[in-house]
Structures are given as C-alpha cells and as structure tokens.
Amino acid sequence: MRSLKVVSILTGLLAIAACATQETQQPVARPDVKFGKPIAAADLAPWNIDVRTPDGVGLPAGRGTVAEGKTVYEAKCTVCHGVDAKGGPVYGTMVGGIGSFKTNTRVLTPGSMYPYAPILFDYINRAMPMDKPQSLSANEVYAVSAYILNLNGLIPDSAVMDQNSLVKVQMPNRDGFIIDDRPDTQAVRCMTNCK
Amino acid sequence: MRQKIGVDSALTDDGLHARRAVVPAATDPTEDSGRRQFLRRGTMLAGGALAGGMGLARAAPLDVPESNKGFGKPIAENDYGMPSKFESKVKRRRTDILKNRQNFSDWSMTPLQDQLGTVTPNGLIYERHHNGTPDIDPATHKLVIHGMVRQPLEFSMADLMRYPSVSKFYFMECSGNGLTDWLKPASTTVQQTHGLLSAGQWTGIPVAWLLDEAGLEPGASWALFEGGDGSGHVRSLPMKKLLDDCLLVYALNGEMLRPENGYPLRLFVPGWEGNVSVKWLRRIKVGDKPWHTRGETARYTDPMPDGKWRQFSFEMECKSVVTRPSGGMTITPGMQEIQGFAWSGNGKIKAVDVTLDGGKNWQGAVLEGPVMDMSLTRFRYRWDWKGGPATIASRAVDSTGYVQPTVQDIQKSRAIVGFVQHHNGVFPWSVNANGEVKNAIA
C-alpha cells in the first residue's frame, strides 16, 4: 500500500517533469571545472583593437593629417564611397546631414550621427576597407578619420589627429541619444467595436 | 518579468487542453468535428468543380502511381538529406524592396509562409551579415575573455565543448524586421515583411560560467562581444543580462551552427535584437561602461520625433503576424485556418486575437503549445470565408500584459518615416472578392 503510494507520487512527478517548459526546469549549475588557458596581455594584443569611444581608451599611438587622409582615401575608399566621400557606386554620402534629424529626410553620416569622433577610428580600423579590413596602419586610420571629419566641417585643414586630439573633437550629435525608455505604447486589448 | 508556471502555462503545456481552454466560443471547439467539417466541405468543393455544383461528385478512377512500381532511390553511403525537389521554391531571399548594391553587408529572409512549425530549418534561418560569411576552421578558432577579469583566458572549441551544455528554444529577430513596410505596402509576401525572424533550439553554455571562471572584477558591468568576421562586428551588452540567460552557442537544431549563422561559435542573447547575438565570436572584453561603437550609435538606434535617437533598445517587443493566408496567396471560399506566429522578447505569449474586419472586432485565437518564454508560439483561428472582402490581422499579448500596438500607436511616440527599426505593429492582410491576399499596412 505504502509502496503503491510512493509509485503513484513518483509517476505524478514524472508527468509534471514531462510537461515542464524550459523555464520551469532546474537551472543548470556551473560545473566545477575550468578549461580556459591563461593568456598574457601581450599575447592577445593583436586582437585587442577596440576603442571605448567616449573617452578614447584603446586608441593607439600614431598620427595622421587631413592631407594624408585624402591620399589614403583616394587610393582605398573612393571606389565604393565616391569622390570627396559624397557617395559612390556602392554607398551613400559620408558628408553632411547635420541638422537633418528633425526632418523626415534624415541624412546619417559620420559627421551628423557619430556622438564621439573615436568611433571613426574604431570602425575604419576594424572594418575598412571592406575587401581588406585590418590592413591599414594606425597612422592611415588617423589620417582617414581626419579627412572625413574635415569634409564634414568639424576640424580645420591643418588638423592632426592622434590619440589626444581625436577625443577632443566636438561632434554635433554628442547629446543626441536617449537610453531606451520603452514600452512607449499603451495599446488596449479592445475586442468589439474598436477604433 | 519571467512568469512562473501558473494557470496559463499549466493549461497550455498540454496542447489539447490548451486548445479546449482558449478556443473562442464562436467557433467549433474540437479538432475532430472541425476536421469532419473540413473534409465535408472539401468534398463538396471538389464535387462542385467536377459536377458543376450538382451535389457530390465521384473522384476519378485511380492509377497505381509509378512510385509503387519500382526501386526507390537507394540509401547513399554518405549523405546529407535535402528537401524534395518539389519544394525548391522554399528558399531564403533578399528583400525586393531595399536593394543594397553589394551582398556583403546585407540580409536574406526566412520564408515564413512555408514555415509549418515553430522551428526554422537551419538552411532557412535568416541572415544578416556586415561583411559576408567567413569560413572558420573550428580546430583553430579561439575565444578570448579579458578586460576587467582576474585572469584573462583563452578557449579552443574543444575546450568549450567539454563543458556540460544547455539547449533552449528561442526566437531570433533582426531589429530591422519590417522596416520597408511601416506606412504603406511595399513588400508582397510575409517573407519580405517579416522574414528577418527565425527560431530554433540553441545549444551551448551559459556566458556566466566562463565569466565566473575568468573572475569578474568589482565594478564589471558591461562587456564587449566581437566577431571574427571581416566587419569585426561589436556590441556592448550589460552584465545583468549576460549573467541572466545569455549563451555561447555552437549548435542549432541539433547540429553545429551553419557558417552563415556564426559557425563555430556565437553569442545568443534571448529576446533581444539579433545583431547583439554576435556571430563568429572571438573575443569578450569586460568593462564598466558601454563602448558606444558605430553599431550602437549610428546604427541600431531609433529616431525620435525631436531629433534624438533611442539607444540600447535591445528587447524585441511583443509581436505577431498571420502567415497563412498572407500576401501573394489566393484563397477559396470555405474554411480557412488562419495561422501565424506570435513572440515576445519580454516573456511568454499570453493570448493572440484575430480580426477579420480590419481591427473593428477581434476574436481569441487558439495558442498551440508548448508556449515558451521568448519563443515562437503558433496560433490558429478557423474562419469560414464567405467570399467577400476582408482585412485580417493578429494582435498578441505577452505575459507582462503588453498588447501589440498598431503602427498608429507607435507613431504617437516615435519617428517612423525612413530607415526605421523595431516595427512590432499589427500587420493586416487584405482579401479581395477574388480571394487575393495583399499587404494592407497603412
């Protein structure tokens, strides 16, 4: 009698387990194993390319001028982005758009959109040119960043960009962001004679 | 946010009971009588076609098919099974509306009109890449964790696959899903309007385990995830979510990830916009604030009417769409099972309503179990189409009580003209007197 009760309880538990959806499962505990190998900072340096763009942490040594940037741009970027970064056969303009965000014809360029100038360095360095990313030297990346900023009227022709000066460039969209504040809709579940 | 098992889930864990429990009173509640009705009506229709509507007609005499009369295809020594050649139209497709002039930073979409269950086949999972698909050898792939950790660590794929694994069903949706169809119809099919959506069972290990192994330093509150592709795609993610439910994933639907879905390793962030689930993952850097990369400032942000941009809008809010019938299909009078999917990045689907008159009146649809957190949930609604014009749509409610809005609801708080993401609006399809189904967003 007693064992029958136990069996029926067990069967019940098994049935509940079989019905359980994934969030009712027991959380899987971290196993007491460690398979990672320690790695030294110097050994991972070639991968450590990110730039924290508001304060420029991660920007490497090096420097580049607007004129040097124009030379690099014309050799490696014009084919997709067009002359003077005004748009080419593959991508649209990278110049202008400042002040366009309150209209329905927003123009997104590094000049109008980037809140922090080091985004140029981080992105060009990791992703450009698209057919050969991570091939530019730090000097070339600083130079192309300078050229794009200059075309957008944000730094003078004589500017030199490096890990100190790039962070100081004031971008027009610096205060242009709000943190996610959704849900921002209040739909009601109306069933009959709605609207 | 998460709902413990309660009345809703207890009912819907069992598909049959769920159907009986949630089925709208106005329609026939049972599967069996529904099927009988359907068969009856089908017979009558067939009869009508053959005998000019004069009662029941007989089917034509049967021939023994060729498939009965010979060898089939032999079992191959080695083989990876493919769909029937008669299903060759079921393919991922790029959008017809927004043509990029290159195919590297681009996307392809899942044929939802042909997805008949809540798991997307691996060859049909939508794609969004920022510089094409790399070809990575798992024998040489490495993952590095560093930054604000006590011990920077490197893992090989063999290391990662030695850990116990977990498998979870989740949807994945691109933040840009629907961006061509906010205010007027542009796309024809549900593949084009909603196909940046896929779902399946993801297998890997909790991110929390490896962060714990490396040892988070005090103040560690964000981490950067970086891909090993030509774009070096990067996103910053808050530590709370990473420790809660994020996975380092190497398999989908029982096999290793396909190259286009991150082989051999990706991050998977349940319920959040797809681009944060960084593919071809090579590096995790722990920090104390976000990096504000291009992808989280100039892209994947949402324009607001005052000229500002909403940033870190990660959650994919509650949404649903009717997949059958949907744009490009033609229906005939009689029983139509309206089918579709509902999902929410904030929890479980609690209910789906269907309208047949463009949103004036709504009826509860049947949810098909299992109804799981942040997963695709299938819904069904039986409709006896009499042949007149109709506008059908679905509206989902999630376990937080959030009701899927209309585009007009969204427009009250956001700017939605242009290249705009996070479209979770109710999506109508019109049916004309000829039974042609068309995109009716307006």
Q: Are residues B254 and B130 in the same domain?
A: yes
Tokens of B203: 């297998």
For B143, the 3-state DSSP assignment is strand
**Tell me, what's the pLDDT at B10?**
32
Instruction: For tokens 């098994």, name the residue.
Output: A14
CA angle centred on B168, ends B92 and B3, rounded to 5°: 115
pLDDT tens for A50-73 read: 999 999 999 999 999 999 999 999
Per-residue tokens: B59: 């089917």
B310 contact residues in A (CB cutoff 8 A) = 177-182
Residues B311, B235 contacting (CB under 8 angstroms): no
Q: Which of B234, B312, B404 sits opposite A179 (nearest CB)?
A: B312
Q: Residue A24: what pLDDT?
A: 56
User: Binning pLDDT at 50, 70 and 90, where does residue A28 land?
Assistant: confident
In chain B, whose CA is at the least distance from the CA of A90? B101
Is A28 in contact with B353 (Cβ distance < 8 A)? no
How far apart CA A73 and CA A79 sit, in angstroms, is: 9
Q: pLDDT band for A23, please (50, 70, 90 cuts).
A: low
Domain spanning A55-168, CATH class: mainly alpha
Predicted confidence at residue A164, as pLDDT, reads 98
Residues A176, B146: C-beta atoms closer than 8 Å: no
A21 pLDDT more than 90: no
Nearest-5° Cα angle at B355, B95 to B22: 110
ipTM confidence score? 0.89
Give the DSSP H or E segment for B18. helix B15-22
Q: Which residues of A touch B278 (CB under 8 A)?
A: none
Exposed/middle/buried for B243, CB within 10 Å: 0-12, 13-18, 19+? Answer: middle
Q: Which of B241, B278, B283, B309 to mutate to test the interface with A (most CBs of A within 10 A)?
A: B309
B35 occurs within a structural domain: no
Report yes or no on B88 lying in a domain: no
Answer whether residue B253 is part of any domain: yes
pLDDT per residue as tens digits for the range B120-168: 999 999 999 999 999 999 999 999 999 999 999 999 999 999 999 999 9
Q: What is the CATH number of the domain that holds B277?
A: 3.90.420.10
CB contact under 8 A, A30 and B105: no
**Binned average pLDDT, 10 residues per bin, chain B of 442 residues:** 35 33 35 41 42 69 97 96 97 90 95 98 98 98 98 98 97 97 97 98 98 98 98 98 98 98 98 98 98 97 97 98 98 97 98 98 97 98 97 98 98 94 98 98 94
CATH number of the domain at B370, please: 2.60.40.650
Considering the domain architecture, whether residues B156 and B305 belong to the same structural domain is answered as yes
Return residues 209-248 of B near A (CB < 8 Å). Answer: 209-210, 212-214, 224, 226, 230-232, 234
Q: Is some CB atom of chain A closer than 8 A to the CB atom of B398?
A: no
- Answer yes or no: do A44 and B144 touch at CB < 8 A: yes
Chains A, B: CB pairs < 8 Å: 219
- Domain termination site, one of B264, B282, B310: B310
Q: Do A30 and B287 touch (CB under 8 A)?
A: no
- In 3D space, the residue among A108, A181, A84, A87 whose CA is nearest the CA of residue B295 turns out to be A108
pLDDT, tens only, A82-122: 999 999 999 999 999 999 999 989 999 999 999 999 999 99
Are B421 and B340 found together in one domain?
A: yes
| Contact (CB<8Å) B310/A47 | no
d(CA B437, CA B132): 34
B99–chain A Cβ distance below 8 A for any pair: no
Residue A13 has a pLDDT of: 44
User: B381 and B287 in one domain?
Assistant: no
> Same domain for B380 and B269?
no
Quick check: B118 and B200 in contact, CB under 8 A?
A: no
Q: Is residue B292 domain-shared with residue B415, that is, in the same domain?
A: no
Structural domain containing residue B227? 106-310
Closest alpha carbon within chain A to B13:
A19
Q: What is the pLDDT of residue B236?
A: 98
How many structural domains comprise chain B? 2
Q: Are residues B263 and B363 in the same domain?
A: no
pLDDT tens digit sequence for A136-163: 999 999 999 999 999 999 999 999 999 9
Rounded to a whole number of angstroms, the distance from the CA of A101 to the nearest CA of chain B is 5
Q: In whole angstroms, give the CA distance from residue B354 to residue B370.
A: 20
Interchain CB contact of B38 with A (< 8 Å): no
Amino acid at A120: L
- The pLDDT value recorded for residue B8 is 36
| Nearest residue, CB atoms, A38 vs list B152, B397, B405 | B152
Same domain flag for B327 and B302: no
Query: What is the per-residue pLDDT for B54?
Result: 53
Q: Are residues B131 and B207 in the same domain?
A: yes
Domain boundary among B310, B333, B349: B310
Query: Which residue is closest to A29 within chain B, CA to CA?
Result: B209
Looking at the domain assignment, is residue B67 inside a domain? Answer: no
Residue with structure tokens 């909403």? Answer: B310
Separation between Cα atoms, residue B173 and residue B314, nearest integer Å: 11
Alpha-carbon distances, residue B6 vs A27, B93, B250, B325, B399 (angstroms): 18, 40, 32, 33, 11
Domain boundary among B283, B310, B337: B310
Residue B206 domain flag? yes
Taking the C-alpha atoms of B74, B77, B79 and B81 in order, what is their torsion angle to the nearest 10 degrees? Answer: 30
B295 shares a domain with B193: yes
- Answer whether B325's CB lies under 8 Å from B338's CB: yes
DSSP B345-408: TTS-EEEEEEESBTTSSEEEPEEESP--TTS-EEEEEEEEE-SS-EEEEEEEEETT--BPPPHH
Q: How far is A9 from chain B (nearest CA, A)?
A: 19
